[in-house]
Amino acid sequence: MGLYLDACAATPPHPQVLAAMAEAQARFWANPSSLHTPGVEAAEALERCRQELAELLGAPGHRVVFTSGGTEADNLALLGLGRRLKPGRLLLSPLEHPAVAQAAAQLQREGWQVVLLPVGPDGRIDPTDFGPLLAPPTRLVSIGWASSEIGTLQPMAELARLCRDAGVPLHSDAVQAVGQVPVDLGAVPVNLLSLSAHKFQGPRGIGALLLAPGLEIEPLQHGGGQEGGLRPGTEAVALAIGLVRALALRLEALPREGPRLGACRDRLLERLLACPGLRGSGAQGQRLPHHLSLLLRSAAGVPLCGRSAVRALARRGVAVSSGSACSSGRSSPSASLLAIGCTAAEARSGLRLSLGPWIDDDALAPLPGLLESLLPTLPAADPS
């Protein structure tokens, strides 16, 4: 697959996940809502997945709703809870995935006030500044556990405790964090948490929303009442099995793979920053261990187009991104880079590299020289 450095967008399915799904397709093909023996067996397999997923995330008492992925989980969380509450103020991180930002925009059209939280130049929210913002009329908060674009890890334990103490429900889009860093809902009292399987070598087309005990939300769709009435449609048992198997494998490997990838990333970053025209962005400490965020400049200091760099690298067999894969088709500047103080031109010069278990130092060795040779060929970023 060449040099694949876009794990934040998608990851290749683990061979053991593919094997588990193939077996599940053969064994649990029946409709889990059916009352005959094949249906009951499928339903039991699905419930085992639900229980195991909650336990893997330290949340055995949480409700698990399987969705089509992180986008649906984010929309179900914000719109499902927001429409159950009296409209008030929704606090939002400015680094959110478009799924969260657009769901919040819909709530704003329905009477909510949406306020973007201040962040530092590293993208982190200061708990000291955050606490006072939880006073009325704040009724809901959504903060991504980790930024897709700049890799920043938020101080979720502190932020969650402040929300709990203020009695304000907290949603976290943890799509980029689950499987990359420890996520333990027993220690971090997040009320609603979204995840997606294809970020940790699971199948595409499935994610989940975890709901704290006692929390009720409204469904976005209506149908046969599956997933406790919150997500109608015949459940994909094999996909659920693939999700859980992928996460179990990833968490088993995390104590060794996290530090290994972090060290690999740091060595690569050191070499890249030695190249004229490359500089880092976002947090350099509290960040995803496999994530690397760069800004591109010419020899004269002019920001260069990140999207052009992505295309040039792709022609040479290197897969990277210029931001969130779900917004990479747009030419607008990165909202996350703007939020940490970048100019519009700089916010179009971003390059994201994200590593996976298939990467080692030898595979990365040619990359700094390749990037340095490409910089003089890239056009300037649009400054407007």
DSSP string, 120-158: -TTSPPPHHHHGGGGSTTEEEEE--SB-TTT-BBP-HHH
Beta bridge partners of 165: none
Block residue for tokens 């409209």: 87
326 is catalytic: yes
**Catalytic pick among 8, 163, 326, 342:** 326
Contact 93, 131 (CB under 8 A): no
Tell me how far the alpha carbon of residue 378 is from its chain's centroid: 29
Sheet holding 170-173, edge to edge: 63-67, 207-211, 192-196, 170-173, 138-142, 89-92, 113-116
- Taking the CA atoms of the chain, what radius of gyration do you get in angstroms? 21
Minimal CA–CA distance to 9: which of 314, 374, 381? 314
Question: Are 3 and 363 within 8 A, CB to CB?
Answer: yes
Kindly list the distances between the CA atom of residue 250 and the CA atoms of 18, 43, 180, in Å, as whole numbers in the listed order: 14, 25, 8
Tell me if 160 sits within 8 A of 188, measured CB to CB: yes
Helix pair angle (98-109, 70-82), 10° resolution = 20
Task: Give the pairing type, strands 350-354 and 291-296.
Answer: antiparallel
Catalytic residues: 326
